[in-house]
Structure 1
């Protein structure tokens, strides 16, 4: 499946024709693995602009560009030469991929997230003469290559799930197994998000992408939740003949991180939880389990600010979890016997996830626990995805339809995604081995 893409064009130079080519290797590879990009056949020290262009499933175009200079042999290796401008600067071999953003004619703040994991993200990489700024017409085309970024290996099985109350998709690695089991959840945008589960399966996990509202016959809007739904998903996974027990792991972003913490706290079958950009308390809607109810912290819309460009900043909107009046909302994670991995961006502007992680880890310390690790990234914002995913610092809210500030700086956020993913895989393999 994996191959190298090389497409050539000819350009005139000092009365002769030189074949310029751009090689991307692998040309078809996993979306969480790096690719190398090399341009050959340039004149010594020639200045060029590299561009990437991709299209989402709705037909919107995403673009990125960077300025480079060839070495004395007319060779340009993005792993060795720094970008001198454009959408990023410095030595960033994968910068063209993580800096993809809506093209100038498109609606801004869209996210380039795949919803069909069996189809790759297709990216065209092109080389143009001279340095052309972002948004400007590029110089003459010298060479181009087409790249496919896959979120699941072809031999991974995807099984749509309708088991009791539980809905979702189960991804099973190739082979006889059994495999360590992981439940994968995203935030309050709702629906079914599968791309991270597909990647987890390529790394040897039986991964269940678990929606909890706004999917099939689940509730259409986010209301109160019952932990019994998540417990049923845990029991399903552990009963599956391809899943290795006795415990499973959970991964969650945002609201999903709250459920990951709650499952670790109340369900002994959950032995490892990755909590990405989560809160130490239940938020917005109550969580029920048996006779226990954890009410949700409230959002106060009067504390939302709007920039001159119309971007909503909701950083201060959530009530303070440290206020004694909100103590009943706190997830009592000191009861958990498994291991936590907290992943946060220190410039998260959706809410104060760095503070919430400090609250959680301090609570564990005060109870004599050392069953946690904290990854805190300076300059990173809210949505910390697998590596090389396009960084979206402001994104359209799927419910409200308004742009929400996620925070962070693109380059720092991209580095956080790359580093944290390897640590997440390492954490899950270690505790579920």
Structure 2
């Protein structure tokens, strides 16, 4: 989701003041693993993997019943540290395997959670969203095993988690007006093609596209504003730009036709719905917490204009001092005069998948998905696939991404809550990532997903 236009700043100007007053190729050395005691060893496998791969952590050499903690730390490109803590008791043989051993109460996660050290990562600065910008450089995750309650370090291990699979080619695209990066999987191809569009943060983010390419899709990460010579602000968008990117993909020799897929999150979601509704050549469209109304900036295509939907800032709430909940701010696109902003999804000729976090605090993703179902059925079209995730928030990312609980909205300029509970949100990320890939395989390749995943 992103905010609407400059008038919003005037609407919230006084409130903002009040709240602020109170409130390239790189070479790598092999990961090291060492024991601090000589007999106890913390093992992580694999030592190198993709970011969306499962985690395996185990310990050998402990005393039966010994109480220890596993501490995990990840530092992002901006220098922010994300940490998690799991407390454990060794088994009768002195073993500890996170895929079987339950984490005790008192840490950032509990129960049998093999990937808990990753999905329970929390930023030391609460207003932080984890984002990977340079996918060419892996992230280093550091694990340390501590004696409890003294806290002495017994063993450490590190793991490299990458966003770029072996043999995946990263190709900057500067073709006509299109500003993007294309990722091509290894092998002769051609491959099912996907265009991935992010939300209103602007710029060019590649982490989803590179991971999808690592799983067998020729994927374009498409920028659409605030990047190089593209418009700097969200004033107005022209669908011809997105059509140009789509035609580039359809004509690429490594992209398998006859159609392509689209993946969009938040504002990228309503752009995906608009592309599917007006453009030809789209076979499958996956929308993650997106809208069926045009949001934030007017959208133009030939002689058609979809105005940005209206909003009422007075409907914002404050679940705790200094933090805004904007879920109810947007007007209902089914009511006049807001119907002008409704995207004519019934014009689309593709398959749809809607991923919905039921605790999305950015806007009513559940309402928008249901509206899409109703509109398609009313016009005799096939009902889309909709997957609802209870207690999942707005930023449904690839697996094991830390939950973004609150973050300063780039356009609003105030801290906003995004919703979600860590464990349930991680389940949504893992499950939806598999479903998105299966959806594209089914409709872009007509092959069994099991042969590709």
CA distance in 1, matches of 2:311, 2:133: 29
Give the aligned partner of residue 179 of structure 2. 167
Pairing 1:53–2:73 present = yes
Unaligned runs of 5+ in 2: 1-27, 446-453
**Structure number with higher relative contact order (C-alpha < 8 Å, ≥ 6 residues apart):** 2
Q: Secondary structure at the match of 1:90?
A: coil
Is the Cα contact below 8 Å between 2:377 and 2:383 reproduced in 1? no
How far 1:4 moved relative to its partner?
8.3
TM-score by length of 2: 0.89
Pairing 1:181–2:193 present = yes
Residue pairs, 1:200-349, within 5 angstroms = 200-349=212-361
Is the Cα contact below 8 Å between 2:318 and 2:324 reproduced in 1? yes
Is the Cα contact below 8 Å between 1:28 and 1:150 reproduced in 2? yes
**Higher deviation after alignment, 58-67 or 301-310:** 301-310
What is the count of residue pairs matched by the alignment?
Answer: 417
Give the aligned partner of residue 59 of structure 2. 39
CA distance in 2, matches of 1:429, 1:148: 28
Find 1:8's aligned residue among 35, 49, 59: 35
Q: Secondary structure at the match of 1:83?
A: coil
**Higher deviation after alignment, 302-311 or 251-260:** 302-311
**Higher deviation after alignment, 56-65 or 296-305:** 296-305
How far 1:362 moved relative to its partner?
1.5
User: Residues 394 and 177 of structure 1: is their aligned pair in 2 closer, same or farther, counting only changes over 3 Å?
Assistant: same
Is the Cα contact below 8 Å between 1:7 and 1:23 reproduced in 2? no
Unaligned runs of 5+ in 1: 11-17, 132-137
CA distance in 2, matches of 1:148, 1:310: 37
Pairing 1:88–2:88 present = no
CA distance in 2, matches of 1:308, 1:390: 22
Find 1:24's aligned residue among 44, 61, 71: 44
Is the Cα contact below 8 Å between 1:338 and 1:371 reproduced in 2? no
Q: Secondary structure at the match of 1:261?
A: helix
Give the aligned partner of residue 130 of structure 2. 112
Is the Cα contact below 8 Å between 2:360 and 2:420 reproduced in 1? yes
CA distance in 2, matches of 1:5, 1:345: 38
TM-score by length of 1: 0.93
Q: Secondary structure at the match of 1:324?
A: coil
RMSD between aligned alpha carbons? 1.7
Give the aligned partner of residue 98 of structure 2. 78
Is the Cα contact below 8 Å between 2:357 and 2:389 reproduced in 1? yes
How far 1:371 moved relative to its partner?
4.8
Q: Secondary structure at the match of 1:84?
A: coil
Deviation per CA, 1:320-371: give whole Å up to 9, x if none. Answer: 2232321111111111111000001011101110111011112112223225
Is the Cα contact below 8 Å between 1:2 and 1:29 reproduced in 2? no
